[in-house]
A and B are shown apart, each in its own frame.
Chain A
Amino acid sequence: MKKHLMAYPYALWMLIFTMIPLALILFYSVFAIDDAGIHFTLDNFKRVFEPLYLAVFWRSIKLAAESTIICLVLGYPMAMILAGKNLSKKSILVVLFVIPMWMNFLARTYAWMTLLEKNGLIATIAGFFGIDLPSLLYTEGAVVLGMVYNFLPFMVLPIYSVLVKIDKTVVEAAEDLGANPITVFRRVIFPLSIPGVSSGITMVFMPALTTFVISRLLGGAHFTLIGNLIEQQFLTTMDWGFGSALSIVLMLMIMLSMGVTMRYEKENEGGGLW
């Protein structure tokens, strides 16, 4: 019974800060409040499916997917290198890798602005060699770069934690049965690391899909993502109803994508995010 009591503060916390806001958002999205009082409406959801906003959804999904794929392509080999090193070197590498994550997210992103802008470091160095770069800032590439830079550790660490747990003798057994290094990777190491890959994908795709800071700082006004759109509804246009509807749709999309990746995670083999 005591265990039950211990859970109440958390349940209360969840109720106040998660369940009630969620209920409010649901409420705002389907009820309009005007002079006539409160009445049910699906207008907000109809608006979400206007081409203008569908384009924003599509762009968000595309950029998030691109970032996730790049993170996977960069992160997997990185995780393998980390997992392959012997212990003493490994811990140094892991620390080097994690340190940037301790710095403020905004500071890191602003740093990229100064690197990428028209008279920034990269343009200056390129100019030094006689190359005239167009402004790198406020491009789609800059947004993807920002996402990859910020979310890469979320891909590397789950894959790394799965890779280090793979029994070395299983790899030796595969070699023993005639598998060359490529076959060992394809048939043994990669299949065994799928739980890590799928949690890595979830951990990168979700924040990339919902970010509004990276797209605003590195994309300027050109690359409105869902996150920016929602922020606008609540802080600028004050259209809470539409903002809530957008949030609900976004939430459903995330739940759907999690459902897909979860299918690849067998029970007990979950990537163990950290």
Chain B
Amino acid sequence: MHEEIIRLVNVSKSFDDQQVLQNINLSISRNEFVTLLGPSGCGKTTTLRIIGGFEVADTGDVIFEGKKINNLPPYKRNLNTVFQRYALFTHMNVYENIAFGLKIKKINKTDIERKVKEVLKLVNLSGYENRDIDSLSGGQQQRIAIARALVNEPQVLLLDEPLGALDLKLRKDMQLELKRIQQSLGITFIYVTHDQEEALTMSDTIVVMKDGKIQQVGTPQDIYNEPVNAFVADFIGESNIIDGVMVRDYYVEFAGRGFECVDKGFETNEKVDVVIRPEDIKLVPVEEGMLEGVVESVIFKGVHYEMIIYGNGIRWMVHSTMMEPANTRVGMKITPYDIHIMKKVTKE
């Protein structure tokens, strides 16, 4: 079921004495949709480029189907890339762009024509064969870039922030379309993005990266519900991150009082990060609350209201579909299950 197709072993890479990747170990399965997620400069694009062969790792190995491909140039690798800014050949029309890889493989003309037609249908651009690249919109150019890569039937498709230049609506449509294409063709997608929502929407597995290191690997649910540290929690969705002390198993103190929780295995009185999602804080009448505070500001966000509530010396971010006006005194309630305790990340 989970047959491995690519493995990175202790991959490190520096540019001009600046280390961008430190000991990356990662295993990617066949037919998996893997997203490398992280803020800019976290090394996610470099990781992708090492897999694509555009950069060579300083140390460590890249294994493709059990074979080391560390120094194999890109044109000998059985994978294709969709680039951030499409990188289409402007001196060719749509047909010639898509046929480029097939012509190099010396596939006969009728097969090329058939494949180009099929792939254009797949990206919903049938009949665009003779169009100039310059005459296409951004979204259409992106589809051509995807078609140009897919037509070669690669086992792995690398995508480097392919939707970054598109507007929100188009991006959402393309996310679903990419997921559909990936599922219908059954090929491995390795997708780079800094957009956590995009990662949650599309991925089977998310790899969260920061400062050239992998922070967490897991399903979207794992990453969202059980982030391993405050960075991941903060990066995947918004969070309240509070300093706390783990008094004993299942009992934590923060914001000046003690709370029941579901975590254990910390040292007695260990200093920890307490992470609470804004939607997990319930607003209740003052007398029913575990904490109380005053609403400082309210912003309407569409589905919910985002309120900043000051109480017990902390500014809490709370998401709720019910609005409490500013300056109201409110109570806040948090269930033990929604309190996430994380080891402090040692500052380097």
Contact = CB atoms under 8 A, between A and B. Distances in A.
Interface stretch (A146-154, A179-187, A210-218, A236-244): A179-187
Contacts, number: 57
A167 interface: yes
Contacts of B300: none
A173 B81 contact: yes
A104 interface: no
Nearest to A187: B100
A172 B74 contact: yes
A177 B148 contact: yes
A192 B81 CA distance: 21
A176 interface: yes
B73 interface: yes
A177 B83 contact: no
A192 B104 CA distance: 18
Contact of A173 (B53, B87, B105): B87
A29 to B, nearest CB: 43
A271 to B, nearest CB: 14
Nearest to A266: B91
A262 interface: no
A177 B149 CA distance: 7
A170 B84 CA distance: 11
Interface in A227-245: none
B31 interface: no
A178 B104 contact: yes
Contacts of B84: 169
A183 B104 contact: yes
B101 A177 contact: yes
A178 B78 CA distance: 9
Given A169-B84, A170-B89, A180 B74 contact: no
A174 B91 contact: no
Interface in A152-197: 167, 169-170, 172-180, 183, 187-188, 191-192
Contacts of B83: 169, 172-173
A224 to B, nearest CB: 42
Nearest to B152: A177
A176 B89 contact: no
Nearest to B103: A187
Contacts of A191: 91
A176 B91 contact: no
A227 to B, nearest CB: 37
Contacts of B75: 175-180
Interface in B32-88: 52-54, 73-75, 80-81, 83-85, 87-88
Contacts of A175: 53-54, 73-75
28 contacts: A167-B87, A170-B87, A173-B81, A173-B87, A173-B89, A173-B148, A174-B100, A175-B53, A175-B54, A175-B73, A175-B75, A176-B52, A176-B74, A176-B80, A176-B81, A177-B80, A177-B100, A177-B101, A177-B104, A177-B148, A177-B152, A178-B75, A178-B104, A179-B104, A180-B73, A180-B75, A183-B104, A192-B90
Interface of A: 167, 169-170, 172-180, 183, 187-188, 191-192
